Amino acid sequence: MSKKIIYGMFDDEEILLKSAKDLVSKGIRIKDVFSPFPIHGIDPVIGVPRTRLAIMSFIYGATGLSLAWLMMGYMLIFDWPMDIGGKPSQHFYMNLPAFVPISFEMTVFCAAHGMALTYLIVNRLYPGQQPKNPDTRTTDDKFMVQINVGENKKSAEEIKSMLSSTGATEITEKEA
């Protein structure tokens, strides 16, 4: 199997999107797209599944709420009930109104930070990570598609000619 990678560079995201649609309709599998900003509409074309980050965030939030209730219930109701200002802390439900702000903050805290950490992990982002964009201009004003020749039935030459006919300005080839 060929391990060649072909990169097609575009000057405009709309041309790239059209070209990607064209290539995909002809059975080419596009491995990835690099761009300086999100290209709206590219995800279904190249088959990026919908992320489940939001669901994770909900789970983290629910965890945060549970932790908050466990913490406050244990500390103020179970372990050391205090009578402050003539308002004794005897039952969880009686103190619940006073627990609302911290419950809310803990929910948001866990939902936001849990989600942010998950995002960094699934994207493999951490200090010291080496960037994978093939050309430094893809964070400035260029847009690039990556096609792994081995994943396709067509030859490298055919793929290249399809790219250039759909508007790629620069096409480079690399051995993986």
Partner 1 sequence: MASHEAQIREPLILGDKDYHQVTEDIIQPIAGKANKWWWMAFTASFITMSWGVGCLAYTVGTGIGVWGLNKTVGWAWDITNFVWWIGIGHAGTLISAILLLFRQKWRMSINRSAEAMTIFAVICAALFPVFHMGRVWLAYWVLPLPNQFGSLWVNFNSPLLWDVFAISTYFTVSLVFWYLGLVPDFATVRDKFARMGKPLQQKIYNILSFGWSGNARAWHRFEELCLVLAGLSTPLVLSVHTIVSMDFATSVIPGWHTTIFPPYFVAGAIFSGFAMVLTLMLIARKTLNLEDYITRNHVESMNKIIILTGSIVGVAYLTELFISWYSGVEYEQYAFLNRASGPYWWAYWSMMTCNVITPQLFWIKKIRRSFVATFIISIFVNIGMWFERFVIIVTSLHRDYLPSSWTMFHPTFIDIGIFIGTIGIFFTLFLLFCRAFPVIAMAELKSILKTSGSKYKK
Contact residues toward partner 1 (CB under 8 A) are 13-14, 17, 32-43, 46, 48, 51, 53-54, 57, 71-72, 75-76, 79-80, 82, 84, 87, 89, 95, 98-99, 101-102, 104-106, 108-109, 111-113, 115-116, 119-120, 122-133, 136-141
68 class by beta-carbon count within 10 Å (0-12 exposed, 13-18 middle, 19+ buried): buried
* β partners of residue 173: 6
Q: How far is the CB of 80 from partner 1 (least distance, A)?
A: 5
153 class by beta-carbon count within 10 Å (0-12 exposed, 13-18 middle, 19+ buried): exposed
| Longest CA pairwise span in the chain (Å) | 84
Select 62 or 116, whichever has its Cβ closest to partner 1: 116
Quick check: 1 and 150 in contact, CB under 8 A? Answer: yes
Select 102 or 158, whichever has its Cβ closest to partner 1: 102
Q: How far is the CB of 157 from partner 1 (least distance, A)?
A: 25
Q: How far is the CB of 169 from partner 1 (least distance, A)?
A: 14
